[in-house]
Structures are given as C-alpha cells and as structure tokens.
Structure 1
Amino acid sequence: MTFIPTLRALVAALPLVVAALPAVADIKNYEFQLTQHEFKQGNGVVITVKLIDKRSGKPVPDAVIFAKRIDMEPEGMATMASPVQLLPASETGAYSFKTDLVMEGGWRLSLGAKVQGETGTLENKLILKALP
C-alpha cells in the first residue's frame, strides 16, 4: 500500500472509530433541582434539592458540596443572607439544608459541588419563595 491510499482508508474509518467511543460525561450534564419551590417563612426551614443526571433523569449520590449560600437576590437584596447548614442525606441523590428564611419573598440558593468521577465544578442558583 502506498501512503495516499492508506491515509484515505484511515480517514474513511475515522467516523466509525469515533462512533464506537463511549460518550464522555460533562459537568453540564448535572443539575440541582428543588424538591419544592415555596416554603413557610421562619427559622429552621429545611430545603431539599436533588442532584440529577440530565441524560438519564436519575439522582446522583455522593456529591461533595463545598459552597452554599442563601440570599434575597431575587428581591434586589443580595446582601440579605442567612446561614446554611448541610444536613445528613435522607435519600440517594437528595441534599438537605437548614436555614432561616427571615423575610417573605424570593430567595436564591447558590450551590457549588464536585460530582464523583467528573472534572469541573457544578454551580447552580435555585430560586425559591418564602411565604408568610
């Protein structure tokens, strides 16, 4: 075989090789979702989110949540924040947080996490509402 025909054969086979490779996961394939969007205003409110693999819709366990913040940015008061405490997991792929929703209105829960086996950082901002 000469160089040109060999090169042509390799180029022709390339789509078959690429198609046979396993799909590569991406941190963008994951997201946190609130299990409910409205909460009663007050102290000791428990907010639960699920970490979902968007490709399969299945919950993802064992993420390492390293950043968490809740504030009233949806109401234009980003400096109005409350402490957030991560609670022990109650079910696979569920992550619960205890906080004080001291005012009624819109609140933003910001989360940063590492997903096991993935590179990159997952960052989500979730909007919820505190009702009187």
Structure 2
Amino acid sequence: MEKIHYRGFWRSLNQAWRGLHYVWKTEGHMQFHAFAGVLVLAGAWWFRLARWEWLLLFYAIGSVFLSEVLNTAVELVVDLVQPNFHPLAGMAKDVAAGAVLVTVIQAVIIGIGLFWLPMWRWIGG
C-alpha cells in the first residue's frame, strides 16, 4: 500500500487557495459574480426552493466561478508567452472570455427557469 503524502496535499491545497485569492483580488468580475450568487441564494431561501433547485443553482454558480478562474489562467499564460500585442493572443483571451459569457448565459437561463413561477406567484399573477 502506498504511503499518503499529506505534506504534498497541504502544499497543493495552499497553492490552490493562493490562486483563488489572486483571482478574487484582481478580477472585478469574480467579485460581481460572487455578489450575484449571494443574491440568487438569498432569493432561493426567500422563495423556499426545493433541494434539487438549490443544487442546480449551486451548479450554475460554481460553473460561472470555474469559467472565471479558467479565463484568468488563460489570460495569465497568454500574457506570459506573448507580452506584446498579437492577434492570436488577443483572440485566445477573447475566446476564454466568451466561455465565461456562455456560462453566465447558462446560469441566467437556469435562474429564470427556477425563479419564474415563484416570482409570478409572489407578484400576484
């Protein structure tokens, strides 16, 4: 049986947290996504959504966070290997940003699907 190396695990975990901290401090969009996520979860609590609806919301919010983290990683690597302007470097960044947009659109559609009926009932429709 192979020995588990806890020191390596904790080092990797620390590096991951350092990366997330970097994204949080440098990317205003990540902070906006987090704020929006908190509002969505507050709405889920207010409307007493079902457990499966909460899980779908956590999936959507997590997907947006993931795409924003990966977008930041792509931007950093592109800046490292191509510090001067190059059309392909710019396109790589645009494509990564497009992935965030696709994920946000998906999350918005999920949110509309889950909140439409509760909000309709709440406003008296």
Shared fold by TM > 0.5?
no
What TM-score, normalized by structure 1, do the two folds share?
0.22
TM-score (ref. length: structure 2): 0.23
Higher helix proportion:
2
Greater strand proportion: 1
